[in-house]
């Protein structure tokens, strides 16, 4: 009988699924006992990744954050724990008190209100501490309005208190009145839009936020854009916003340009006409309407509008009009002596205004009228290229290469060569990066040769051979050298906003051991750059970041993340251009292998001389590094390293 019971107990124990967060939680609670709050936080975070729906883990993590004074992070974890387990009153109370401390009184009041209805005396007292002053303040401002106070500050304060007390209808009414009393600032429109959004009135909210995002100060506009939908507004939303804010010139003008781009010229002209006349008297709209009328042959009406611009207060706009009309720049000449505006002129005007689609149409008309004008052909190529119609751009640049004008031919040839790799069915590319390291007293070589098939889709299949090795048999850890040549077939995505993905399958041949191993790897790459490039025209500051997440089967199906950031300054003449920067490198992996978790920082430099290929430069860096995971190996300590190498890449 005892044996049967023991067998049944073991069977039940084995039948139970193991707790995926057990090991991380055990380490976390052990660290808490030793008051190692940083270590506990790290292990709690791992436990959350293993079991994200367990509210108790987030609760304990939040308390650990409180121990080190990170109240904001603690609040976020209490919020997630409350969302996962709404019945846990202690979590909700902690979250509400933290909201109150961080001036989020409206959120705190809502939580205390819910808890007090369950008989929680502490929540009742906390609710009254928040609600009573709000009620008193609302009554005080309402009394002031009854006594005749009707200024911006009175209505705004009343609306703010009403919003904190969740009296959204009262808040909306007084935010709207505050904005009507001070319409130019438009900051109250952001508050009005936020309240309408909370009242589940998205159409009204969008109209208020759209109006606030156009024509206001930069801070107000940015705050409004953060609350607007990510997409571009629709025409009916512009019209609703104008109905709410009819004096918003920028809003009306943007609607007019939108209608013009959509081919609804008659509606666009109506909007430009309203803006060109009193009370707006907008010179930009007058100029745009004048050119539209001039092109259509209504010269007298256009002359009146354009002369108004030429004699107006905006000298820069007047000079742009003179340039298009072929008039002398100095003085305030009349439009009567202007040359006839043709498709080329309208294309130039459209390009300057940023309306490339319109420019493309006008350039097509100009090319039909004079096919031998290679300047127009070149501009057709640029316009198609800007609109991402690269196949058409490649065609136009190819035609413009035959121009007798050396400047046009040279520019077209350069553009044609830039597009040529993307237009051919097969593209051959490669890169190489040999370098030496004082830390490892070794030379490393990294290189890849790839043949890629172009397709109509966003995916590009390829075959490649890659070298990842060093010159010595006692190679450093895997991250630095696999001592292999890897043959693979794969597929990659075209970059989208600096983000691309790839996957490949192949075989790695170890040139030291003579062994062959299957090799499967793939990942996501993110690149961001701002500032002056090494091959650019001018010197100046720059900043760049690359981040890669890579799955590698041969490292025990590990997933590695490594990031490299550089901030510095591009210096020197084009003949010897350099970049001096400070770098920061971070590497970690999912398996927490010691060799794959470290951080480095230090100065660096890149050099490019005029005699070198455009994509080649020398690289130098001196870094101080340290491991993030220690496995008892005495070599896992802080280190210094000086590296020098050469980067080269090509595409054919």
With bands split at pLDDT 50, 70 and 90, how would you rate the model's confidence at 382? confident
CATH 2.40.128 fits 426-651, yes or no: yes
Which tens digits make up the pLDDT trace of 123-162? 999 999 999 999 999 999 999 999 988 899 999 999 999 9
**pTM surpassing 0.85?**
no
DSSP 556-623: TSEEEEEEEEEEEEEES-TTEEEEEEEEEEEEEETT--GGG-EEEEEEEEEEEETTS-TTEEEEEEEE
Most confident of 48-52, 319-323, 598-602: 598-602
Name the residue ranges covered by the structural domains of the chain: 251-341, 357-423, 426-651
- Distance between CA atoms of 215 and 250, rounded to whole angstroms? 5
Orientation of helix 299-310 relative to helix 283-295, angle to 10°? 150
pLDDT score of 211 more than 60? yes
| Rounded average pLDDT over 498-508 | 89
The predicted pLDDT at position 488 comes to 93
* CA dist 58 → 1, 47, 67, 75, 85 (Å): 44, 9, 14, 10, 11
How large a percentage of the chain has pLDDT more than 90?
30
Beta carbons of 504 and 490 less than 8 angstroms apart: yes
306-343 burial code (b ≥16 CB/10 A, e <16): bbbbbebeeeebbebbbebbebeeeeebebeebeebeb
- How many Cα atoms sit within 13 Å of 26 on the Cβ side? 5
CATH architecture of 357-423: Alpha Horseshoe (1.25)
Best CA proximity match to 198, nearest among 110, 134, 114: 110
Which 3 state secondary structure label does DSSP give 444? Answer: strand
Count of beta carbons in the 10 Å neighbourhood of residue 415: 21
| Mean pLDDT of all residues belonging to the chain | 83
Q: How many Cβ atoms from other residues are within 10 Å of residue 268's Cβ? A: 21
Q: What pLDDT, in 10s, does the model give residues 434-491? A: 999 988 888 888 899 998 887 767 788 999 999 888 876 544 445 566 778 999 999 9
Distance, CA of 305 to CA of 213 (rounded, Å): 29
Look at residue 521 and give its three-state secondary structure.
strand
Average pLDDT (11-40) is 75
Q: Is the previous residue joined to 279 through a cis bond, with omega within 30 degrees of 0?
A: yes
DSSP 190: H
Beta bridge partners of 547: 526, 563
Same fold, 357-423 and 426-651: no
User: How many Cβ atoms from other residues are within 10 Å of residue 585's Cβ?
Assistant: 17
Mean pLDDT of 73-77: 89
Beta strands in 351-441 (DSSP E): 426-437
Under 8 Å between Cβ of 248 and 215: yes
Q: Which conformational region is residue 458 in: left (phi greater than 0), alpha (psi within -120 to 50 degrees), or beta?
A: alpha
Residue 475 vs residue 175, higher pLDDT: 175
């Amino acid at each position: 009988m005892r044996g049967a019971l023991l067998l049944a107990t073991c069977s039940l124990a084995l039948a139970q699924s193991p707790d995926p967060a057990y090991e991380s939680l055990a380490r976390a609670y052990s660290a808490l006992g030793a008051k190692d709050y940083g270590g506990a936080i790290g292990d709690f975070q791992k436990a959350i990744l293993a079991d994200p729906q367990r509210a108790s883990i987030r609760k304990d993590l939040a308390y650990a954050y409180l121990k080190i004074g990170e109240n904001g992070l603690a609040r976020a974890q209490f919020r997630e724990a409350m969302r996962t387990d709404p019945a846990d009153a202690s979590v909700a109370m902690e979250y509400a008190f933290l909201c109150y401390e961080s001036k989020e009184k409206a959120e705190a009041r809502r939580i205390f209100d819910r808890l007090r209805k369950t008989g929680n005396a502490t929540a009742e007292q906390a609710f009254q501490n928040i609600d009573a002053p709000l009620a008193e303040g609302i009554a005080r401002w309402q009394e002031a309005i009854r006594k005749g106070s009707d200024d911006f500050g009175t209505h705004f304060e009343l609306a703010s208190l009403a919003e904190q007390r969740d009296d959204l209808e009262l808040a909306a009414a007084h935010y709207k009145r505050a904005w009507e009393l001070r319409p130019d600032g438009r900051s109250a429109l952001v508050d009005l839009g936020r309240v309408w959004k909370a009242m589940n009135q998205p159409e009204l909210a969008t109209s208020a936020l759209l109006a606030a995002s156009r024509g206001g100060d930069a801070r107000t506009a940015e705050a409004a854009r953060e609350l607007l939908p990510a997409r571009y507004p629709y025409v009916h939303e512009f019209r609703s916003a104008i109905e709410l804010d009819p004096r918003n010139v920028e809003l009306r003008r943007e609607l007019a340009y939108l209608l013009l781009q959509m081919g609804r010229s008659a509606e666009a002209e109506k909007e430009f006409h309203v803006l060109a006349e009193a009370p707006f008297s907008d010179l930009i709209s007058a100029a745009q309407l004048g050119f539209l009328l001039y092109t259509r042959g209504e010269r007298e009406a256009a002359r009146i509008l354009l002369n108004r611009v030429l004699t107006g207060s905006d000298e820069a706009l007047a000079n742009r009009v003179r340039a298009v009309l072929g008039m002398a720049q100095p003085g305030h000449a009349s439009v009567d002596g202007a040359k006839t505006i043709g498709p080329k002129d309208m294309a130039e005007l459209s390009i300057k205004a940023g309306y490339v689609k319109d420019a493309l149409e006008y350039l097509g008309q100009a090319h039909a009228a004079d096919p031998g004008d290679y300047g127009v052909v070149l501009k057709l190529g640029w316009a198609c290229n800007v609109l991402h119609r690269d196949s058409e751009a490649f065609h136009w640049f190819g035609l413009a290469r035959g121009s007798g004008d050396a400047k046009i031919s040279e520019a077209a040839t350069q553009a044609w060569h830039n597009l040529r790799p993307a237009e051919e069915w097969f593209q051959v590319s490669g890169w190489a990066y040999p370098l030496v390291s004082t830390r490892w007293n070794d030379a490393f070589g990294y290189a890849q040769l790839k043949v890629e098939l172009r397709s109509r889709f966003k995916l590009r299949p390829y075959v490649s051979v890659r070298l990842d090795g060093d010159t010595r048999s006692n190679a450093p850890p895997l991250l630095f050298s696999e001592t292999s040549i890897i043959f693979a077939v794969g597929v990659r995505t075209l970059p989208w906003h600096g983000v691309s993905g790839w996957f490949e399958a192949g075989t790695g041949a170890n040139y030291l051991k003579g062994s062959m191993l299957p090799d499967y790897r793939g990942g996501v790459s993110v690149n961001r750059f701002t500032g002056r490039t090494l091959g650019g025209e001018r010197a100046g500051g720059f900043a760049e970041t690359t981040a890669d997440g890579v799955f590698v089967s041969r490292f025990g199906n590990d997933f590695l993340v490594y990031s490299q950031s550089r901030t510095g300054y591009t210096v020197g003449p084009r003949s010897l251009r350099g970049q001096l920067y400070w770098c920061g490198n971070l590497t970690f992996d999912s398996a927490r292998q010691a060799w794959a978790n470290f951080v480095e920082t230090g100065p660096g430099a890149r050099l490019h001389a005029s005699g070198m290929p455009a994509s080649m430069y020398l690289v130098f860096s001196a870094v101080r590094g340290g491991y993030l995971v220690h496995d008892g190996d005495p070599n896992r300590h802080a280190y210094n390293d000086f590296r020098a190498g050469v980067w080269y890449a090509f595409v054919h």
